[in-house]
Chains A and B, each alone.
Chain A
């Protein structure tokens, strides 16, 4: 990529000396500044958006898509290797892995997205409120978030889930309770950085109310890093939900959930690796799709990086 790019450009004098750093620099600038990329932002947005939508639809219609009943046990074919009948093999109870991976998408993707959406909205609103108003409310809310940040996340989530009881719903509540401070922090610092900007003063002079200034001018300008954080958090949250499931505080057996399926498969790693492989690959692929989508949304939201 970089090689072809350099060939296409007129050579600069320093490049003839074969300076490594110079080559790196020109490649770096070329990649972004001149819009020389694999595809335009719009194309990437469509591709990753479709992939994410595909995953979402799959999780919504998981019951219809699964070839077998994901909870149907058949010990005669336990730990069977992948075959034509069972494309991804079976687990220790002879349940079809493909069906379980598809069924697990509902618990994993759906709950994760819900969780991330909730903490993004709540955290951002709190952060913007603190950054905009400052003073005592800011100090109090930020100390509370400090307390949450000081706890080891999963341990605190375990405590919350322990108090509320098990189940996926309570696991979501527990994780939401410990994850909002990160978003509040980002939103607050972004708000502080932008608060004195001339364009916000100009909006005030244009007669816009504070609510309007915050939602129409400030939020669109600070939402980029927050969105990227939440997109990157999808993977983390999937893993933490899985972790709670593993501890018996999240999804309960026999409900299929990728994280708990992986932890179930740990003891089979040497004898039947496909049992761990399929939910792992499912997590890997979904996390990657949502990460790339997050990057693309950030690029798209910023008119400066759009291709013209």
Chain B
């Protein structure tokens, strides 16, 4: 899949985020990270808590401003975009958050949240409502869930709705920030199956950046994996190969810990 004749759909070059705290040491959360995400690929990023995974994905989604480096979406630099230009980026890139229930506005129904990106892109309220029902069905929930409130559904159902919301605008990249971590194992598997089905349906036009701390999930789901440790990428490769022959001490510890 990597030898696609088109360029990478997402490219990150030397991305760095430094947190400065007054009177204390500075913390380099992400330290010169570079990688590419190819069309149709599912790229896993694995690492322990504090290794900078979430900061990295927040910078890619432009929720945090990087201190250095570049983010290129389909060859276009988006590192410093603001306002309307930045909003156009979100038609290509969407995100699924770690805590499903918190990612929906508690004062609005799920359907309202799913249709928001459509309404912002010129859909009428009625058309957006109808589409959010279809999206929910595509994600394995009854269309009637559009009328529900976030506090009325379980974590797994809410995460399905969050995926439906992310898919609404037909993005080419889906960022999953620990999207399965808050769910129990059987629901985790269901969500992974759903993401797998969606990948098959959408083919090369749909890439996933899958942030996770569970190497078993990454092995099962991803085409390629990056191992992050203390803000740096310390290892890269096919998941099976990385698991069989880890080269970095952290990766070795990680694999030993589950065996």
Q: Which residues of A are interface residues toward B (Cβ below 8 A)?
A: 197-199, 201-209, 212, 217, 220-221, 301-304
Given contacts A198-B97, A201-B63, A202-B113, contact A208 B120 (CB under 8 A): yes
Q: Count how many chain B residues have C-beta atoms less than 8 Å from C-beta atoms of the other chain.
A: 31
Most buried by B among A201, A206, A301: A206
CB-based contact B107/A303 at 8 Å: yes
When distances are taken between beta carbons in the complex, the residues of chain A under 8 Å from B108 are 217
Would you call A221 and B63 a contact (CB within 8 A)? no
Instruction: Assess the B97–A207 pair: CB atoms within 8 A.
Output: no
- Contact pattern, B 173-190, Cβ under 8 Å of A = 1, otherwise 0: 000000000000000000
CB distance from B89 to the nearest CB of A (A): 9
Does the CB pair A304–B106 fall under 8 Å?
yes
Task: Report how far A220 CA is from B106 CA in the complex, Å.
Answer: 9
Interchain Cβ contacts within 8 Å, total number: 75
Distance between Cα atoms of A197 and B104 in the complex (Å): 9
Bound Cα distance A303, B149 (Å): 8
For residue B84, which residue of chain A has the nearest CB?
A209
User: Would you list 7 pairs from A and B whose C-beta atoms are within 8 A, ordered by A residue?
Assistant: A199-B102, A199-B105, A199-B106, A202-B95, A205-B93, A301-B107, A304-B151
* Residues in chain A near residue B36, CB distance under 8 A: none
Apart from A201-B95, A208-B116, 8 more pairs, CB < 8 Å: A199-B104, A201-B63, A202-B104, A206-B116, A207-B116, A207-B121, A209-B87, A304-B149
Give the A-binding residues of B (Cβ under 8 A): 61, 63, 83, 87-88, 90-91, 93-95, 97-99, 102-108, 113, 116-117, 120-121, 149, 151, 162, 165-166, 169
Asked if A203 and B116 sit within 8 Å, CB to CB, the answer is: yes
| Cβ-closest chain B residue relative to A196 | B63
CB distance from B155 to the nearest CB of A (A): 13
Give B172 Cβ to nearest chain A Cβ, in Å: 14
Is there an interface contact between A202 and B87, defined as CB atoms closer than 8 Å? Answer: no
Which of chain A's residues has its CB closest to B93's CB?
A: A205
Q: In the complex the two chains form, is A217's CB within 8 Å of B105's CB?
A: yes
Interface contact A198-B106, CB-CB below 8 Å: no
| A221 close to B165 (CB less than 8 A) | no
Instruction: Please indicate the chain A residues that have their CB under 8 angstroms from the CB of B151 in the complex.
Output: 303-304
Contacts of B113 in A (CB 8 A): 199, 202, 206
CA of A294 to CA of B165, assembled, Å: 35
B120 x A207 contact (CB < 8 A): yes
Q: Is the CB of A206 within 8 A of B90?
A: yes
Q: Complex formed: what's the CA distance from A204 to B81 in Å?
A: 14
Contact partner of A198 (CB less than 8 A), chosen from B88, B90, B94, B99, is B99
A52 to B104: give the CA distance in the assembly, Å: 34
Which of B63, B116, B151 has most A Cβ within 10 Å?
A: B116
Among A205, A209, A302, A304, max chain B CB count under 10 A is at A205
Contact of A221 with B149 in the complex, beta carbons under 8 Å:
no
| Chain A residues within an 8 Å CB radius of B104 | 199, 202
Given A207-B90, A217-B105, A221-B107, are A202 and B165 also a contact pair (CB < 8 Å)?
yes
Chain A's closest residue to B106 (CB) is A221
B139 to chain A, nearest CB (A): 16
The residue on A at minimum CB distance from B109 is: A303
Cβ–Cβ contact B63 & A203, under 8 A: no
Q: Given the complex of chains A and B, what is the CA–CA distance between A209 and B84 in angstroms? A: 8
A3 smallest CB distance to B (angstroms): 31
Among A204, A206, A208, A302, the residue within 8 A (CB) of B165 is: A206
Pick from A201, A208, A220: contact of B107, CB below 8 A: A220
- Cβ-closest chain A residue relative to B99: A198
Least distance between A215 CB and chain B CB atoms (Å): 12
User: Closest chain A residue to B115 by CB distance?
Assistant: A206
Q: State in angstroms the CA–CA spacing of A206 and B94 once bound together.
A: 8
How close is A213's CB to chain B, nearest CB, in angstroms?
A: 10
Residue of B with least CB distance to A219? B107
CA of A212 to CA of B91, assembled, Å: 17
Closest to B177 in A: A198
Measured in the bound complex, the distance between the Cα atoms of B102 and A246 in whole Å is 51
Q: A208-B116, A208-B120, A303-B151 are in contact. Are A203 and B107 (CB under 8 A)?
A: no
Alpha-carbon distance between A301 and B107 when the two chains are bound, in angstroms: 8
Please give, as numbers and ranges, the residues of chain A lying within 8 Å of B61 by CB-CB distance: 201, 205
CA distance A199 to B106 in the complex (A): 8
Complex partner residue of B120 from A202, A206, A220, A302, CB under 8 angstroms: A206
- A206 vs B93: C-alpha distance in the bound complex, in angstroms? 10
Q: Select from chain B the residue with minimum beta-carbon distance to A304.
A: B151
B residues near A302, Cβ cutoff 8 Å:
107
A207 in contact with B106 (CB, 8 Å): no
Q: How far is the CA of A301 from the CA of B83 in the complex (A)?
A: 31
A203 touches B95 (CB 8 A): no
In the complex, chain B residues whose CB is within 8 Å of the CB of A303: 106-107, 149, 151
